[in-house]
Structure 1
Amino acid sequence: MSESGSGSGLASEEKANSRQRLQVKVNDCKENQNITYVSLIPVQTAVLGKAPKVYLAPFSLSNCKLDQLKGAKALLENNSVLCKRYKKTEIKKTCRVLIPKMNVTSCKEESTLQKSSFDVHIEHNKPQHKSTSDMVILSGDMESSQDGDSDEETTPGSDDFPGLSPYERKRLRNISENANFFASLQLSESAARLREMIKKRQPPELKRKKPKKRENEIGCRRSMRLLKVDPSGVSLPATSTQPTLIADETVRKSPLLPPGPLEMTPENQDYNNELFKGFLQTWAGLSKTSSKNTEKRLSGIKSYKTNLNSMVITEDTVHKVTKGSISSMAVHPSETRTLVAAGAKSGQVGLWDLTQQPKEDGIYVFQPHSQPVSCLYFSRANPAHLLSLSYDGTLRCGDFSKGIFEEVYRNESSSCSSFDFLAEDASTLIVGHWDGNVALIDRRTPGTSYEKLTSSSLIKLRTVHVHPVHRQYFITAGLRDVHVYDARHLKPKGSQPLISLTEHTKSIASAYFSPLTGNRVVTTCADCNLRIFDSSCLSSQMPLLTTIRHNTITGRWLTRFQAVWDPKQEDCVIVGSMAYPRRVEIFHETGKRVHSFLGGECLVSVCSINAMHPTRYILAGGNSSGKIHVFMNKESC
């Protein structure tokens, strides 16, 4: 009994020590920051990979031997060392200690452990640090399985786990059978096939059907005025106020003025005014300007630049003359008075006598046309005559000595674009039409003028200009080509040109011979280029001499640029500019810029149409609001 008593006392002491160590171990695990949770409930886990497993065999404190207690003590010490190692690492881990259920065998402190299985499961939170050593199961027998594919690990039997209860063994067996059953169903493969079938059987896109229009459907209410119906239901007659497109410009058709001469009645002045009567008497007394004086005034390029630098603009030489945009301009060749004429888009013709002060008293506006005035010239034979051509198909001569506008030419079926004098005495004229036809007019016939209408090879005809020396030749600017014709060989249909210039890539605005010899031709094209050709020999092709880069894109609301020659200088052309500050530029035939007319606050708009005095240094430019800007030398001012 003493031995048994001493043995039972030793067992009770060992039991108490074991419980104390276990309690310390659990407290250490709870204090660790990296441990997620600690569970004291026994949880049975099955490891399906190649991992070392250690099982604790059940033992009883009443029947245990000293050697078994020493083995358990060694296992607990090893387990505590393992936990300390994991506490030192910075990687977060999960520690789960599973303590088996303990059955109390007596009312006293004696108890017997029916099942004892310590399972310490440490998992790393980072997946890259996982290894087979992260899962450790402690058992009384240190067994490690090298073959993880054996059936004993996945489906344990009753002999494999003698320490488990029948319920635990049945539970593991059911889990294994269920896993095998679901694997045999091949659910993942079936799901993949279903996904492919769903992708292939996508429903077609539904197209919205348009509702059919009903024949008797009542629409929205519209104005009877827009329907051209009077209140009684009777349709109104068609009006002639619809816009028509003529030469890239929108012009509203207006009723033509009656044929025959029109009385010269100013719209801004009283007809019986003494100033207007004096204005007519001034025009009647104007003398002719001979070409000999023009030849004497020709100068070199240096003196020409000096005279251009002396030209200035002031507030007294800027004024609004016409109501609409200016489309044509002319400067009277008088040596004593400064007279400027402007043709407007509204069909008006404005005259401005700059020698009259105040300047409002020297401005007279007339209405000889119903549509834009495209071309304007003073007669070379009689400076008191001003000829104007309009889109309405009429050519009129304003005779200021008589105070009337005579009708020189009329063609209501076709719009006119440009004209020029065939004869030096202005007895014969050539008129170009927008549809490409050309009319030769002889004013010497009694009564009505004689007309000879021919057809050119152009689809559209914008400008016509006669050679200054060989007056039987004239040049035309069309849609894309420039042609030179001989007036003596024109045919009623299909007249062929002598020379054709095909270097242009876009529409052409104008083409003019040089003023004295006609040895040069300048063209203005919408491709932002001014081209100068050699026309000294009209029997052969006209070679291209110079291409001057210049912005000619004026847009819809500005009149198109037309580069013209300075009548005093054979080799210089004048053209408007889109550059800032606003200006009018002069270029030499070599392409060099000779001079730029800057007006400061007096010139703040684009002068599209410009004209130079034939003998004096006077330049007049018109803009798209009806305003005239005049540059003059200081002596003329």
Structure 2
Amino acid sequence: MSGSRAEAEQKGGSRQRLQVNEYKENQNIADTSLRPVQTTVLGVTAKMEATSSKEESTLQKSSLDVHAESNKWQYKSPSDTVVLSPDTESSQEGDSDEDATPGLDDFSELSPYERKRLKNISENANFFASLQLSESAARFREMIKKRQPPESKRKKPKKKENETGCRRSMRLLKVDPSGVPLPAAPIQTVLEVDENPLIPPGPLEMTPENQDDDNALFKGFLQTWAEMSKTRSKNTEKELSSIKSYKVHLNGMVISEDTVCKVTRGSISSMAIHPSEMRTLVAAGAKSGQVGLWDLTHQPKEDGVYLFQPHSQPVSCLYFSPANPAHLLSLSYDGTLRCGDFSRAVFEEVYRDETRSFSSFDFLTEDASTLIVGHWDGSMSLVDRRTPGTSCEKLIKTSLSKIRTVHVHPVQRQYLITAGLRDIHVYDARCLNLSRNQPLISLTEHTKSIASAYFSPLTGNRVVTTCADCKLRIFDSSCISSKIPLLTTIRHNTITGRWLTRFQAVWDPKQEDCIVVGSMAQPRLVEVFHETGKWVHSFLGGECLASVCSINAMHPTRYILAGGNSSGRVHVFMN
């Protein structure tokens, strides 16, 4: 018996050594595959740490009697399920109650460390299950959903009984001062009235709107200017004076309160000065269709102003007839061209076309018997005044989309120049036909809208144009060929805005090489430039000239300048 017991102890010692060695070899595997679980619940951290070396020695001593049998085991916790699949067999010799896992069979192949670890897992699982965390979380969710934020309603302040209310207009309440309601105002029917009714066709009596019909002053006015037109000035050749002497004459021209007067009710869009050398008569065309005449000889000055309504739309062009200065021709946007005859006190109808809007006109012949009329749609009309009442007009189509101004060469009267939207064309009147006409020359140097284009008055060797690109251009038209070269470009502010009439640079009829144009500069003035671009003179009026003179006209023989503004006022500078 003693020998067999010694053999058994020897075998048990060798088995114990093998068990310890196997545990050390598989330590890494156990650490990686079966690590302790950390769980934090409600601020408490449950940590499963590896057993110390002291615990390992205790477990090794208690595992000496473990039988090596393979067996399968499985353990399920209330909250989690842990499945272990090593082949194990139930040991006939169980460990002590301290080392054995409660509720599990003895496994002969499990080391004491593994059994201790399984026991800790089971205890932790039971602990967490007893906390009932999932049920508590569900209850908290329901409490949050049911809870609603309190509504913050602002309490309205109580209105005081004796508080006085805001004052309200009795007129708006439709109550008179005594508190009696006012009767309802009658409903007024608004009739649609044409603001610019067309003037009926045919001649119109020259009756001033601002004076009585039987006014003796007006009858004397008509008689005086009818006689003045008969006395023609001597037709002597005009010589071009030097710039030095020209400046001296311009410096002698002044303005005063007596030479400033309101002639029309609306903005002035055209100007003309009678060629008489004894008396001064200024004509102004307004945007309202009015034509005003101002005889500067009368005093007080208001007695010399006569206002007529021969048109219903803006009067864009005014000329005294070169053959008979007693005739004042006026052209309007309303498609009418009329002639005011001082000797007969009537506005005759020269040409009428209600389907088109007229923009400008000029005389093709020196006796003023033939006219060229420009239309806003880009076409022109040839009108012969010697055959009134018949189909005397000839409609001519051009390559322009619009025509703003038409001007005839003063010497070679077969040539005419037209200012379009951005191009300027020169045509030969002898070659015009009913179909679309091509120009002889086109001036395409302009980059924006063009306001006007005029030949120089004596020889026609120069052309001045006014453009919205703030430039005045002077061209050399001494030889009308395939090209008219550009000579000078003058920087000048031509942006007048919406409410002012556009600037138009015009030649001084007495001086071939000088132009006159309005200015936007402060103080208000009218400027004169030489064809080389040099400044010549500025007409300043102080308090008498406090507005922009967009349209200006010079007397053909005397040193008189008339400028019109956008309120119907005429300013006259004279010696």
Partner residue of 2:316? 374
Are 2:350 and 2:388, in contact at CA under 8 Å, matched by a contact in 1? no
Aligned pairs for 1:28-427 within 5 A? 241=194, 254-287=196-229, 293=235, 295-296=237-238, 298-427=240-369
The 2-side partners of 1:417 and 1:304 are apart by 33
Residue by residue over 1:435-464, the C-alpha shift from the partner in whole angstroms, topping out at 9 and shown as x without a partner, is 011000111125446111110110000000
Quote the offset at 1:273 in angstroms: 0.8
Quote the offset at 1:291 in angstroms: 7.9
Are 1:408 and 1:449, in contact at CA under 8 Å, matched by a contact in 2? no
Are 1:441 and 1:449, in contact at CA under 8 Å, matched by a contact in 2? no
The 2-side partners of 1:360 and 1:542 are apart by 47
Are 1:294 and 1:568, in contact at CA under 8 Å, matched by a contact in 2? no
Matched, 1:506 2:448: yes
The 2-side partners of 1:290 and 1:154 are apart by 136
Are 1:473 and 1:485, in contact at CA under 8 Å, matched by a contact in 2? yes
Partner residue of 1:489? 431
Amino acid at match of 2:250: L
Partner residue of 1:591? 533
Quote the offset at 1:297 in angstroms: 5.6
- The TM-score normalised by the length of structure 1 is 0.60
Quote the offset at 1:493 in angstroms: 1.6
Residue by residue over 1:377-415, the C-alpha shift from the partner in whole angstroms, topping out at 9 and shown as x without a partner, is 000111111000000100000001100000000000000
Are 1:381 and 1:425, in contact at CA under 8 Å, matched by a contact in 2? yes
Partner residue of 1:578? 520
The 2-side partners of 1:495 and 1:446 are apart by 27
Q: Percent identity?
A: 81
Are 2:196 and 2:312, in contact at CA under 8 Å, matched by a contact in 1? yes
SS at match of 1:304: helix
Are 2:469 and 2:494, in contact at CA under 8 Å, matched by a contact in 1? yes
Amino acid at match of 2:480: L
Quote the offset at 1:154 in angstroms: 12
The 1-side partners of 2:254 and 2:50 are apart by 110
Q: Cα RMSD (Å) of the superposition?
A: 2.7
Amino acid at match of 1:561: F
Runs (4+) of structure 1 exceeding 4 A deviation are 153-159, 288-294
Amino acid at match of 1:612: M
Distance 1:611 1:449, change over 3 A: farther
Quote the offset at 1:294 in angstroms: 6.0
Partner residue of 1:612? 554
SS at match of 1:285: helix
Matched, 1:559 2:490: no
| Structure 2: unaligned runs, 5 residues or longer | 1-48, 56-119, 125-186
Residue by residue over 1:450-505, the C-alpha shift from the partner in whole angstroms, topping out at 9 and shown as x without a partner, is 11111011000000000000001100000010000011101212111100000001
Distance 1:515 1:296, change over 3 A: closer
Quote the offset at 1:157 in angstroms: 9.1
Partner residue of 2:102? none
Matched, 1:469 2:398: no
Matched, 1:532 2:474: yes
Are 1:409 and 1:449, in contact at CA under 8 Å, matched by a contact in 2? no
Distance 1:290 1:504, change over 3 A: farther
The 2-side partners of 1:372 and 1:543 are apart by 34
Distance 1:154 1:561, change over 3 A: farther
The 2-side partners of 1:486 and 1:439 are apart by 14
Are 1:578 and 1:606, in contact at CA under 8 Å, matched by a contact in 2? yes
The 2-side partners of 1:395 and 1:360 are apart by 28
The 1-side partners of 2:406 and 2:388 are apart by 26
Distance 1:271 1:532, change over 3 A: same
The 1-side partners of 2:453 and 2:230 are apart by 27
The 1-side partners of 2:240 and 2:54 are apart by 131
Amino acid at match of 1:443: R
The 2-side partners of 1:361 and 1:427 are apart by 34
SS at match of 2:248: helix
Partner residue of 2:372? 430
The 1-side partners of 2:500 and 2:221 are apart by 32
- Count residues in correspondence: 402
SS at match of 1:545: strand
SS at match of 1:450: coil
| Structure 1: unaligned runs, 5 residues or longer | 1-152, 160-176, 182-230, 242-252
Are 1:294 and 1:614, in contact at CA under 8 Å, matched by a contact in 2? no
Partner residue of 1:209? none
